[in-house]
Amino acid sequence: MFGKVSAIALGVIGLIVSADLLRRMFPARSPKRNAAFAENQPHDSHTDIRDAGPDAMRDPAAREWTETDEDGDESFPASDPPGGY
């Protein structure tokens, strides 16, 4: 009987310690922060739309933007593609 109780107690302690370690290793992100938005962009709701352009993005652009990049970003979330022929 004592062996079962100690095994259960050790299991519970192990779960608590594991959960605490996981929380420290992978802190929860704020649900009110949209991933692609820069700090100065609206981010209170999942329906917010950021301004177009690389300055409105949270992460810096990996390369210099072309006119096609800008046209595509300015057209979002419209259903039609940009008409810059």
Q: Give Cα separations from 28 to 22, 32, 44 (angstroms).
A: 10, 12, 17
Which has the higher per-residue pLDDT, 30 or 68? 68
Confidence of residue 72 (pLDDT cuts 50, 70, 90): confident
Query: Does the pLDDT at position 79 exceed 70?
Result: no
- Mean pLDDT for 4-23 is 87
Higher pLDDT, 63 or 77: 63
What is the per-residue pLDDT for 1?
A: 65
**How many C-beta atoms surround the C-beta of residue 50 within 10 A?**
19
**pLDDT given for residue 64 in this prediction:** 92
